[in-house]
Structure 1
Amino acid sequence: MPIVTIQDFTGVYAEQPFMQGLRELAASNGDIHWLDCTKIEGTDCYCDDEAQDALNKMMDEAVATATNTSATSTPGIHFFDNGNYHYMSMLWTDRVQEPFDLVVFDHHPDMQPPRFEGILSCGGWIKEVLDHNKFVQNVIVTGVADHLVEEIREDLSQASAAEILNRVTFIRESELSAVTLEGFSPDRVHLTSHSTPVYISIDKDALSTAEAATNWDQGSLTFEQLAKTLKVLAENRKILGIDICGERARDMGFEDTAAADALNNALNEKLFHLLTELHGIQ
């Protein structure tokens, strides 16, 4: 079993029985870690330097206590709350020490130039990875809203950063049905034909509202499409780590909060079993 880390920033996992079951297992299973991040300030949407230091220290301590020592060379599987904390994927990929491709499922490009210089954000973390991680080779972002692809191209051009787009492939939301109907999974299978390892980061807002309830506008990806793509990647590439975010925000009103939590609970359980299964393919 891979090392599994759950980082709880808002307390939302308290509403999900499956995740609470993992929390109970963490007390006796050294390969499951529950990290209470609720008291770390400076983390919501933006992550300042002090918060990064606190998070990195907590993550290092968790990995150091893992009983599955053969798994400590790779970051494992991580759940980290809602999409406001998607920047955690940058902190986890910073631990990778070999060339890799970053495969992201997200309804947003997460490549905005920073509003505040030097501040890591949920909306710009992919750009930070491209700018500063010497091991990342290419980035594939699947499920992005079509209009946001054009907007980010314009934003990066105005910020004199358009050259990083040469290393990015966007698979737009409008393309998902077409490539599936042609018998291909949404990652364009040809992208998996070489040997570069991959790191996978999933924001559940790429999925339709029938699959998940998140705190951002959502796309139309189905769980079936996502699962098929992940299986193809696992069969063709070495997977270095997998991240999952996209819970609902606790202060965000849903007409039926209990139904939203039940939907996310079921999805997290399916993802957990799928991802641990994929780990066995490696």
Structure 2
Amino acid sequence: MTTNHLILDFSHVYCDEKIPKNDRVHWLDCSDIAECDLYCSKRAEEEIRARIEPYGIRGIHFLDSGNYHYVTGIMTEQIKQGFSLILFDHHTDMQKPMIEHMTSCGDWAGKVLKTNPWLQQLILIGPQERDIRQIYSEKEGLVTSTELREKLVTFSAEEIQSGEAGNKISKIKKNFPVYISIDKDILDEEYSETNWSQGKMSLPVLERLLMPFLKSGNILGIDICGECQQGMLLPQYLEAEEINGETNKELFDFLMHYSHM
């Protein structure tokens, strides 16, 4: 199976980072695609799909800032077998859609959960407990049916910090290949500077949580998003780019080593 590592450059944020040097990393300039920042129109979705399809999903893919995290949904559409989606994120990305005919960075995971016929389980790791409760809310939540509840396993930031997350590990189905998606807003600002509110996780803890999935040896693909805000003052921007560049390189090397891609 061919492995292609991708950089999807929507905002040129990667131009000022120390991008991992690898002759199998393909840089896809997506900056000319309109109607795709935060919300993605059908036309933009079709264009993004057409650009990534020739490369497949096997590999490590950088998706730009969290504004483009919905690309994970487009990526996983290429999977035509039962699979689990492992999502590391400070947010649930399961809000009720604001605009029905457009996918957003805030609702894409909920749409994958509801509409992808091959998805067997979605493992959501990192949001705060109050945000997880909201997606199960009978009045406002997205995950209200028994079928969807059985497909979703959540580990809140509080459960991870207290060590109580181990009580749910038995709920994870281990007989399916996995696709891993990492939003660096799960990390403390010491390790990443993103354009959304962030968690308090350290990079070593994130790597430790990734290990059981990587050791399964059945990885379909991995993506990483969570770059900094465009338009920052130059000193802060350069500092953010240095932090993010170092973390991206560390994650790339770590994932390359343990995923054997």
- Matched with 1:45 is 38
Unmatched 5+ residue regions in structure 2?
none
Does structure 1 retain, via aligned residues, the 8 Å contact 2:184–2:226?
yes
Asked if residue 54 in structure 1 is aligned to residue 47 in structure 2, the reply is yes
CA deviation after TM superposition for structure 1 residue 165, in Å:
3.1
Asked if residue 111 in structure 1 is aligned to residue 94 in structure 2, the reply is yes
Query: How many residues were matched structurally?
Result: 258
Decide whether aligned partners of structure 1 residues 196 and 83 sit closer, same or farther in structure 2, where only a CA change above 3 A counts. same
Give me the TM-score of the superposition, normalised by structure 1.
0.84
Give me the TM-score of the superposition, normalised by structure 2.
0.90
Identity of matched residues, %: 32
Q: Give the Cα separation in 1 of the matches to 2:234 and 2:117.
A: 41
Q: Give the Cα separation in 1 of the matches to 2:168 and 2:207.
A: 14
Does structure 2 retain, via aligned residues, the 8 Å contact 1:11–1:38?
yes
Please list the CA deviations of residues 127-149 of structure 1 after superposition, one character each: whole Å capped at 9, or x if unmatched.
11112111101111111022211
Give the counterpart letter for 1:33 in structure 2: H
- Matched with 1:230 is 210
CA deviation after TM superposition for structure 1 residue 256, in Å:
2.3
- Matched with 2:254 is 274
Decide whether aligned partners of structure 1 residues 266 and 160 sit closer, same or farther in structure 2, where only a CA change above 3 A counts. closer
* 2:195 counterpart SS class: coil
Please list the CA deviations of residues 5-64 of structure 1 after superposition, one character each: whole Å capped at 9, or x if unmatched.
000111111111x21x54xx5xxx3x3210001110001011101101111111124x1x
Decide whether aligned partners of structure 1 residues 189 and 237 sit closer, same or farther in structure 2, where only a CA change above 3 A counts. farther
Asked if residue 82 in structure 1 is aligned to residue 65 in structure 2, the reply is yes
Select between 43-52 and 245-254 the one with higher mean Cα deviation: 245-254
* 1:53 counterpart SS class: helix
Q: Give the Cα separation in 2 of the matches to 1:252 and 1:98.
A: 42
- Matched with 1:258 is 238
Select between 42-51 and 145-154 the one with higher mean Cα deviation: 145-154
Asked if residue 145 in structure 1 is aligned to residue 128 in structure 2, the reply is yes
Give the counterpart letter for 1:170 in structure 2: T
- Matched with 1:248 is 228
Root-mean-square deviation (Å): 2.3
CA deviation after TM superposition for structure 1 residue 257, in Å:
2.1
Does structure 2 retain, via aligned residues, the 8 Å contact 1:192–1:237?
no
Q: Give the Cα separation in 2 of the matches to 1:127 and 1:107.
A: 15
Does structure 1 retain, via aligned residues, the 8 Å contact 2:94–2:142?
no
Q: Give the Cα separation in 2 of the matches to 1:44 and 1:271.
A: 25
Decide whether aligned partners of structure 1 residues 161 and 230 sit closer, same or farther in structure 2, where only a CA change above 3 A counts. closer
